[in-house]
Amino acid sequence: MARIVGGIFTSHVPAIGGAIAKGAQDTPYWKPFFDGFPPVRQWLRDARPDVAVVFYNDHGLNFFLDKMPTFAIGAAPEYRNADEGWGIPQVPAFRGEEDLSWHLIESLVAEDFDIVTCQEMKVDHALTLPFSLLWPDERWPVTVVPVCINTVLFPLPSARRCLALGRAVGRAVENWAGDARVLVIGSGGLSHQLEGQRAGHINKAFDLAFMDSLAKDPAWATQYSINDLAKEAGTQGIELLNWLAARGALADVARELHRNYHIPISNTAAATMLFES
């Protein structure tokens, strides 16, 4: 049986890609963020995952406003990045883990989740930046299953539904034949709002409570409606749904090994967490 070895959660502000391209990781602006990663990379060297299941949201590269699935899973042999207009250099393609993709899709549909299956799929900065942060040499040692959650176009799935999706993914992974070591990644957040009168909104107290809840009480965020989550975390901070789903995929009891929280990167409260199942 496959085994989930742990989960890594990180913000994916596009400017991170620019900082990597410029080699600015050690400048005063960027160092507090990039300093969150060496302990995570050390853990990865010991954990040696074979596959990464990545919970993230697409920002208009693969899905646009005309067609926006609530939940979509990639089932492609390969995933490519493309120019999103941020000026981030493109990264090498990711090898898909097709057998796990189909296993997840079949398991989730059998559990009454209505999944969009993507046999072709581009992946944007929300998937590529976590990889560049975890494996700076950009030689990806894992294959990938992208799990895309709509956090960009209302109506959004509830926190309760995202947690349930993640838990169903976790059960399905553990039923996958073979002995692969599977890493779960949650990408996005934490509090930020990029548009409107509240642009620049950051809520440190809420972010810290959310991070604490992932260890102590993973269902904590499900007490909030989507509108209340957007009020607390910002209309883009709602990307915490990806973290919540990824947390759901880990065992109910998971150990927090490391965290980093820094304000601001761009207009975002940037956070990183590592959990071991």
Number of residues in contact with ligand DHB under rule CB under 6 A: 12
Select 104 or 202, whichever has its Cβ closest to ligand DHB. Answer: 202
Of 111, 113, 107, 133, residue with least CA distance to 41: 133
Q: Which residue has the tokens 């989930």?
A: 4
Query: Cβ contacts of residue 33 below 8 Å, gap of 6+?
Result: 16, 260, 262, 265, 270, 272
Select 203 or 236, whichever has its Cβ closest to ligand DHB. Answer: 236
The mark string for 176-205 relative to ligand DHB (x by CB under 6 A, - otherwise) is: ------------x---x-x-----------
H helix or E strand, kind and range, residue 250: none
H helix or E strand, kind and range, residue 48: none
Q: How far apart are CA 233 and CA 226, in angstroms?
A: 10
Instruction: Extract the runs of DSSP E, i.e. beta strands, from the chain.
Output: 3-10, 51-56, 71-74, 78-79, 94-95, 116-118, 143-149, 181-187, 255-265, 268-276
103 flagged as catalytic: no
The mark string for 91-130 relative to ligand DHB (x by CB under 6 A, - otherwise) is: ----------------------------------------
Of 271, 116, 158, 252, residue with least CA distance to 208: 271
Which of these is catalytic: 192, 201, 258, 262? 192
Task: State yes or no: residue 247 binds ligand DHB (CB under 6 A).
Answer: no
Cα torsion for 257, 263, 267, 270, to the nearest 10°? -10
Tell the smallest beta-carbon distance from residue 170 to ligand DHB (Å): 24
Tell the smallest beta-carbon distance from residue 171 to ligand DHB (Å): 29
The mark string for 24-63 relative to ligand DHB (x by CB under 6 A, - otherwise) is: -----------------------------------x----
- For ligand DHB, the binding residue among 91, 239, 243, 262 (CB under 6 A) is 239
Select 16 or 73, whichever has its Cβ closest to ligand DHB. Answer: 16
Task: State yes or no: residue 262 binds ligand DHB (CB under 6 A).
Answer: no
Parallel/antiparallel/unpaired status of strands 51-56 and 143-149: parallel
Residue sitting closest to ligand DHB (CB): 266
User: What is the contact surface with ligand DHB in residues (CB under 6 A)?
Assistant: 12-14, 59, 188, 192, 194, 236, 239, 266-268
Catalytic residue ranges: 125, 192
